[in-house]
Structure 1
Amino acid sequence: MCPADRARRAFTLIELLVVIAIIGVLVSLLLPAVQAARASARRIQCVNNLKQLGLGLANYESAHRAFPPAYLGDPKASGAAFGVSYPDPNGNTLSGFAWGALILPQLEQAPVHAAFNFNLPCWAPDNTTAARTKLSVFLCPSATGGDDGFAVHRYTNGDSQAPDDGGPFSPEIRFGHSHYVTNAGVNQPWGRSPAYSSDFDVPEPLPNGLSAVINGPFYRNSRTSIAAVADGLSNTVFLGERTSKLCDGTWVGVVPFASVWPKPGWPSDPNSAGDLVGSHSGPDVHDHPQVIIHAPNHPFGHTDEMYSEDGDGSNILMGDGSVRFIKKTIYPWTWVSLCTRNGGEVISADQ
């Protein structure tokens, strides 16, 4: 073949540029579809996580005749262990183990469960390896604030109702992340006065004539049975998303004097220890006459609300094991009704 023939069979620069331009156009057309498919896969994985957690809660209830508490604490205990004193002003003590650690056998995580020494506080050095374990069932793929564990912070101002962020504990306490939190109901147990923090089953009378009642299914030392969810399991919120982009949460446990601090850019203030594993709907009666109801993804960005990185709302696990996507535009009082276990509210289909 002569050189002229070979020259005629080669690509010209213009042809090459045209091909590159066509490929670029095709990629630009396909990229949104690929991104949408990935986002859909992340949402499906998040829903599957919540369904698996719901099954774990149901199996725990079958074995123990009650759902696990949000976390454990001996209200009569007093002292110090491994650098942490107790009780704190909110009545938190040892062992501190939370709902996620308690249902590990029901999540097919028996080896991790066996690695914990439940006779010691959850923050004990002997529990370090298990407490730092990264478990995918507690992690939403859409959360971008971290999933490799975090250093638990503490408060130093002695005020559990308005704690400061005193920085990490020393020696450091690290827990595995959870992007899902329990529902304590309307009022925040971690916002109670010290006089009424030893037993969350006791109503707290307030000067405004109201009473602070913890009426959700999960709080410290709760033993909520199916019969106790008088509003019906399908009408009661059990778990919901809370991204680590807002604040850090865990499945492991609660440390006395812990402080849950908002990540940079959020306007909210820290909350105390129980917020590591819980949320509430509001309006907390301590806030009256100021009414604050934070439905999922409410722009308040409180560390004790449910919040996902889907801007429209969050995936929520109901007591019957179903998962619903609750929009942030839900009628606020409907959200309040869904968060009580025994409020007797009537929720119509159009709310």
Structure 2
Amino acid sequence: MRCSRIEGQHRRHGFTLIELLVVISIIGVLIALLLPAVQAAREAARGLQCKNNLKQIALAAHNYHDINNCFPAARASSSPQYGHMVTLMPFLEQGVLANAFNVSLSGGFADPGNQTVSTTKLSVLLCPSNPVQNTIRLRKSSSTGKSYGAYITDANGNFMMGWVCDYWVNHAISASTIALLSPGGTAPDPILKGTAPNMAMVTDGLSNTTLFLEHAGYDKHYVKGVGWPMPETDLTLDQPGAWGAWLGWCAFMVQGYSNSPPPTNASTPAGTACAINCNNSQGVFGFHPGGANVAMGDGSVRMLSTSMTVANLMAIVSRNGGEIISE
């Protein structure tokens, strides 16, 4: 009897296989429920940072206007080449960087003498939701497809590099898209058209006109959220060398797209079915699930929804179209 009691006291207890499987299943369900919430919280934080970036850039443009009685031109200088972000640096608390950029060098944004500035990463110009955050090799050509032009190198054959920018301005509005929406119509002007664009020219109202827009993903070509490397045979994306670097001409011609744009190796004609996050060739494009963020002419920031119509997009990116924008 004593031995029997001792054996009973040392009997081991544990999970059965079924109990273990049930526990694992419950943990799996909890993880499946928790991950989307965590991802949503992270994207919400990234979205807020993106909007804050745009707010800072818009305020810089307003401060520039206060001093110069105009906004910076979309293409600040064509000879040597450099873009509007160069002129905004002192107003983004980057005066030291602005002073380091030598505007007299013939190579402009891609000159070897400006590589220190060109390869400086500026978080305020990068959306944290963008998976493509890197430097790019620079080219001078602004042509598309096989006419990209050779990469720029220094005397030792080293590639000229530059950090990308996710927040652009529109220097033009697609006449092809306007013609599809209104046959015979002419494209209105974007907010920064001209050498000294000012607030008085925005007859549509500053709160109704975009100033800075997400145009992200360089130097990959993104169509409906899917990205490809950009081979020389890709005729669909303006090469990013002269346009994608923050020192360069970060300005694009806004257009609408069809719902089935070709991925690569084909042209991307204008369309009227898709307005936001369709194509980062000439489209308003961000990596937020609900749309893309923009800064308006009055300095406010908003998200343009993926459900926005092309007609409304064309209206909101123009300063003097006289359109009625239906929300």
Q: TM-score range by the shorter chain?
A: 0.7 to 0.9
Deviation at 1:173, TM superposition (A): 2.0
When residues 185 and 245 of structure 1 are mapped into structure 2, their CA distance, relative to the original with a 3 A threshold, is: closer
Equivalent in the alignment of 2:128: 141
Report matched runs for 1:76-155 at 5 Å: 92-94=78-80, 96-120=81-105, 121-144=108-131, 146-155=132-141
* Pairing 1:316-335 to 2, within 5 Å after superposition: 316-335=294-313
Which has the larger Rg?
A: 2
Letter in 2 for 1:231: D
Distance 1:46 1:127 in 2: 27
Deviation sequence 1:105-144 (CA, Å, 0-9, x none): 2111222222222332222222111111111110011111
| 1:33 equivalent in structure 2 | 37
Partner in structure 2 of residue 238 of structure 1: 211
Q: Cα–Cα, structure 1 residues 298 and 137, in superposed 2: closer, same or farther, change >3 Å?
A: closer
Report what 2:167 is aligned to.
180
User: Quick one: distance in 2 between partners of 1:337 and 1:134?
Assistant: 33
- Could you tell me which amino acid in structure 2 is paired with residue 216 of structure 1? P
Structure 1 SS opposite 2:292: strand
- Using the alignment, how far apart are the partners of 1:72 and 1:245 within structure 2? 21
Deviation at 1:22, TM superposition (A): 3.3
| Aligned-pair CA distance for 1:71 | 2.4
5+ long unaligned stretches in structure 1: 74-91, 192-209, 249-260, 284-289
**Consecutive unaligned residues in structure 2, runs of 5 or more:** 1-5, 177-183, 222-227, 257-268
Matched, 1:55 2:59: yes
Question: Normalised by the size of structure 1, how large is the TM-score?
Answer: 0.69
Aligned-partner Cα distance in 2 for 1:330–1:117: 42
- 1:177-229: per-residue Cα shift (whole Å, max 9, x none)? 101110224258xx9xxxxxxxxxxxxxxxxxx8987721225x621111122
Shift of 1:247: 4.4
What is aligned with 1:342?
320
Q: Distance in 2 between matches of 1:112 and 1:141?
A: 22
Structure 2 counterpart of 1:270, from 233, 238, 247: 238
C-alpha spacing 1:330/1:20, structure 2 compared with 1 (3 Å)? closer
Does residue 226 of structure 2 align to residue 218 of structure 1?
no
- Structure 1 residues 137 and 7: CA distance shift in structure 2, 3 A: farther
Is contact 1:185-1:339 (8 Å) kept?
A: no
CA contact (8 A) 1:67 1:225 kept: yes
Deviation of 1:320 (Å): 0.5
Shift of 1:278: 1.0
Question: Cα 1:331–1:212, aligned 2, differ >3 Å: closer, same or farther?
Answer: closer
Partner of 1:297: 276
Preserved CA contact (<8 Å) 2:216 2:280: no
Query: 2:260 aligns to what?
Result: none
Q: 2:151 aligns with which of 168, 172, 189?
A: 168
Q: In 1, Cα distance between the equivalents of 2:140 and 2:96? A: 30
Q: Which has the higher helix share?
A: 2
Sort the Cα spacing of 1:41 and 1:340 in 2 relative to 1 into closer, same or farther, 3 A.
same
1:339 deviation in Å? 1.6
Find out whether 1:228 has 2:201 as its counterpart. Answer: yes
Matched length:
284
Matched, 1:313 2:273: no
- In structure 1, the partner of 2:224 is none
1:24 is aligned, of 23, 28, 31, to 28
Q: In angstroms, what is the RMSD of aligned CA positions?
A: 3.5
DSSP-derived class of the 2:110 partner: coil
Q: Given the superposition, is the C-alpha separation of residues 318 and 346 from structure 1 closer, same or farther in structure 2, using an over 3 Å criterion? A: same
For 1:174 and 1:93, locate their aligned partners in 2 and report how far apart those are by CA, in whole Å: 19
1:296 deviation in Å?
Answer: 4.2
Seq. identity, %: 31
- For residues 137 and 214 of structure 1, the distance between their equivalents in structure 2, rounded to whole angstroms, comes to 30
Counterpart of 1:127 in 2: which secondary structure?
helix
**In 2: Cα distance, 1:100 partner to 1:61 partner:** 14
Separation in structure 2 between the aligned mates of residue 110 and residue 234 of structure 1, nearest angstrom: 29
Per-residue CA deviations over 1:289-334 (Å, capped at 9, x if unaligned) read x8656964363x2522221123543111110011122124323232
CA separation of 1:295 and 1:324: change in aligned 2, threshold 3 A: farther
Q: Distance in 1 between the 2:280 and 2:54 partners? A: 22
Are the aligned partners of 1:187 and 1:280 in contact in 2 as well (CA < 8 Å)? yes
